[in-house]
Chain A
Amino acid sequence: MPKVEYAGQIEVSPTAIASIANEAVLTCYGVVGTCAKDLAAGLANVLSPESKRGIDVRIEEGHITVDVYVVVEYGTRIAAVARSVMNVVKYSIERAVSVQVAEVNVHIRGLRVSSID
């Protein structure tokens, strides 16, 4: 998004912001992967930590809106995990680019069952 400086401007692309968000999301406890917005891409892609396809960044009139599509560990409290994702995404983007994040929407696209109690 354009940010006016003395001579010229700094532009941070949505892709760059998505990278920041992606990094933050993957270190967020309870999240075991991001996944494609539409599951048509197939389950093979679901657990791919390298991809940024699970992060959707839109910049409109200087406001950043982020949609995050994640897979969460089965057995965690999903609401609490989602809340953490919102906090950490908002915080890390704002810290990195000093622009307010208006919205972070978290979409839980699946649960990973790694162990049954």
Chain B
Amino acid sequence: MAHKKEASPPKNPTANGIDGQEFKHLVKAGLAWLRRHQATINALNVYPVPDGDTGTNMVLTMQSAWEEIADSPERNIGLLAHKVAQGALMGARGNSGVILSQIWRGFARSLDQKPVYHAADLAAAFDEAADTAYQGVTKPVEGTILTVARAVADAAARAVKDTSDLTRVQEHVVFAAHEAVALTPSLLPVLAEAGVVDAGGQGLLVLLEGMLHSMRGEMIADDAELAEVGDLVASAFGPGQAGYGYDVQFLLRGEGLDIDAIRATIAEMGECPLVVGDADVVKVHVHVPDPGVPISYGAGLGSLQDVVVEDMEAQTRDFLAKPGSTPAADEDRKIDVVAVVMGEGLTLLFESLGVGAIVQGGQTMNPSTQDLLDAVESLPASSVILLPNNKNVVLAAQQARDHSQKDVAVVPTRSIPEGIAALLALNRQADLDMNVKAMKRAVKDVETGKVTFATRSAKINDVEVTGGQLIGLHGDELKVSGESPGEVVRNLLKEIGTEDREIVTLYYGDQVTEAEANALAQALSHEWPDLEMEVVFGGQPNYHYFVSVE
């Protein structure tokens, strides 16, 4: 790229601009990063209503945006951005989600039908995004995500005067977002009272930060399935590794500073490095276990100003300890649900159906009573319904119920399809007893089949199987065997019976591809033309398919 210094990253990978397919990676990384910080953002949520769901709402909104583009081959950035905006709009949840969708709307409108965006286009898009966001409210409140969106646009406009490197522009943008978020308590008194920064603003920052990670070629593992609701500190601030305990920022003044060398050195020290500036003044931001290291390094190069060191773990603990920041149990969340689920797709599915907390587990990995209890206690709701989704987990769930301080009921679902049926019957306005009754009724209407490998040779219920062969279970009973997953599903449907049934849903596991599952569903609908076949990605290990017959 035309920029004069080309030291640490040898070439600018964004010199040709960013097209639709490249932008997909950024959106995905933004979503993954947002998801990783979801719990912290929830904990920050005190404004406008302290219901502790900002992080969740922003994740769900971005999830919807991602789903809109995940399979899109669109190369035109303008058209792809419109899809992102459309997805965000359709999935917009909560105040922060609606604002986020408006931000995307403005962003997309500005890019219009451009094939790629360059630095100037990006600055214009951020500007239109902020304008659109402000348009959507009569009295804009400063100290919120709106303020951050405006700061981002201003920073981008300034940055593109000096550089055309999109990664550099994004760094300036993220830096400005950091500063704007840090200022939110001084603009919005309710935040200062609670001792927090604005949750929505923080969410926007995290989203932009995730995109920056992707632009730098840093991978973000999408650990939706690993994020334990109760494990706030670890999930938020120690991504994968212990001890990234301090947020360090300072301004370094000197002469002939080599910004690329500084950037490389700081990046070695810790996470989320941000180094922007020129030969005379450099802004540094990094998360490190020992704040002394970057500060001494900086002091060796020039004079330091505006040094800020924050203990991030203590901040998180404070957020959680303060009564003001404890998410209030609002009307909608008097009743909540904890479900035991395994597999990426099923986790997302249960989340989208509104479970408050998910405990990872299933046939081969039963969660402990403690795991379940922790999940129950982590929810703000006073009444909690436990869905074990496996007969081996029912007992642990009942023990968790007996040990909890809350009003807990176990609906003894024995499979994922039963769990989903139960969840669909949830009515948050009704009390615990009513819900349990409704859920038990719903569970009765569902038959479950499972397809897996036989772990050993056996003869059960007149079905003879050899180890490694495929078998089909109706409920928990071995009923059929076969050579291919498709054959077993077919036999299972015959075994279960399809009289008076309407819908068959195939939740395919991590050993099955989407194409295989779709092909099977198509073949099945030829054989059973009266049944509606649905295919859902479950991602569960060990089981090729969970089959739900309703």
User: Is the pair A30, B98 in contact by a Cβ cutoff of 8 Å?
Assistant: yes
A23 to B524, CA, bound (A): 57
Tell whether A80 pairs with B93 under 8 Å between CB atoms, given A30-B98, A91-B49. Answer: yes
Q: Is B135 an interface residue (CB 8 A)?
A: yes
User: Is the pair B98, A76 in contact by a Cβ cutoff of 8 Å?
Assistant: yes
Q: Is A98 an interface residue (CB 8 A)?
A: no
User: Is the pair A73, B136 in contact by a Cβ cutoff of 8 Å?
Assistant: yes
A31 to B136, CA, bound (A): 7
Q: Is B245 an interface residue (CB 8 A)?
A: no
User: Is the pair A28, B137 in contact by a Cβ cutoff of 8 Å?
Assistant: yes
Q: Is B335 an interface residue (CB 8 A)?
A: no
Q: Is A15 an interface residue (CB 8 A)?
A: no
Pairs A–B under 8 Å by Cβ, sample size 17: A26-B139, A27-B137, A27-B140, A28-B48, A29-B98, A31-B137, A31-B138, A32-B138, A73-B136, A76-B92, A77-B92, A77-B98, A80-B92, A80-B94, A91-B48, A115-B109, A117-B105
A90 to B137, CA, bound (A): 19
Q: Is B40 an interface residue (CB 8 A)?
A: no
Which residues of chain A are within 8 angstroms of B137 by Cβ–Cβ distance?
26-32, 73
Mark each residue of chain B from 73 to 102: 1 if its CB lies under 8 Å from any CB of chain A, else 0. Answer: 000000000100100011011110111011
Which of A26, A80, A87 has the most chain B CB within a 10 Å cutoff?
A: A80
Q: Is A105 an interface residue (CB 8 A)?
A: no
Tell whether A117 pairs with B49 under 8 Å between CB atoms, given A29-B136, A81-B98. Answer: no
Q: Is B330 an interface residue (CB 8 A)?
A: yes
Q: Is B51 an interface residue (CB 8 A)?
A: yes
Which residues of chain B are within 8 angstroms of A32 by Cβ–Cβ distance?
136-138
| Interface size class, chain B | 20 to 34
Size of chain A's interface in residues, with CB distance under 8 A? 26
Which residues of chain A are within 8 angstroms of B136 by Cβ–Cβ distance?
29-30, 32, 73, 76
Tell whether A87 pairs with B102 under 8 Å between CB atoms, given A27-B139, A76-B92, A77-B92. Answer: no
Q: Please provide the 3 A-B residue pairs with the shortest distance between their CB atoms, ordered closest to farther.
A: A77-B92, A73-B136, A91-B49
Q: Is B331 an interface residue (CB 8 A)?
A: yes
Known: A81-B98, A88-B49. 9 other contacts (CB 8 A): A27-B139, A32-B138, A75-B89, A75-B102, A76-B89, A87-B330, A91-B330, A92-B48, A117-B85
Q: Is B156 an interface residue (CB 8 A)?
A: no
Identify which of residues 429-462 in chain B touch chain A, using a CB-to-CB cut-off of 8 Å: none
Q: Is A9 an interface residue (CB 8 A)?
A: no
Tell whether A80 pairs with B105 under 8 Å between CB atoms, given A73-B135, A87-B49. Answer: no
Which residues of chain A are within 8 angstroms of B132 by Cβ–Cβ distance?
115
Q: Is B293 an interface residue (CB 8 A)?
A: no
Which of A29, A87, A117 has the most chain B CB within a 10 Å cutoff?
A: A29
Of chain A, the residue at the smallest CB distance from B57 is: A80
Q: Identify whether the interface residues of B are mostly helix, strand, loop, or mixed.
A: helix
User: Is the pair A76, B330 in contact by a Cβ cutoff of 8 Å?
Assistant: no
Q: Identify whether the interface residues of A are mostly helix, strand, loop, or mixed.
A: mixed
Q: Is A3 an interface residue (CB 8 A)?
A: no
Which residues of chain A are within 8 angstroms of B264 by Cβ–Cβ distance?
none
Q: Is A63 an interface residue (CB 8 A)?
A: no
Q: Is A24 an interface residue (CB 8 A)?
A: yes
User: Is the pair A117, B109 in contact by a Cβ cutoff of 8 Å?
Assistant: yes
Tell whether A49 pairs with B139 under 8 Å between CB atoms, given A30-B98, A77-B98, A81-B98. Answer: yes
Tell whether A77 pairs with B90 under 8 Å between CB atoms, given A29-B99, A117-B82. Answer: yes
User: Is the pair A88, B101 in contact by a Cβ cutoff of 8 Å?
Assistant: no
A91 to B92, CA, bound (A): 21
Which residues of chain B are within 8 angstroms of A30 by Cβ–Cβ distance?
98, 136-137
Q: Is B219 an interface residue (CB 8 A)?
A: no
A115 to B108, CA, bound (A): 13
User: Is the pair A75, B105 in contact by a Cβ cutoff of 8 Å?
Assistant: yes
Query: Which one of A27, A49, A77 lies within 8 Å of B48 (CB-CB)?
Result: A27
Which residues of chain A are within 8 angstroms of B330 by Cβ–Cβ distance?
87, 91
Of chain B, the residue at the smallest CB distance from A75 is: B105
Mark each residue of chain B from 119 to 140: 1 if its CB lies under 8 Å from any CB of chain A, else 0. Answer: 0000000000000100111111
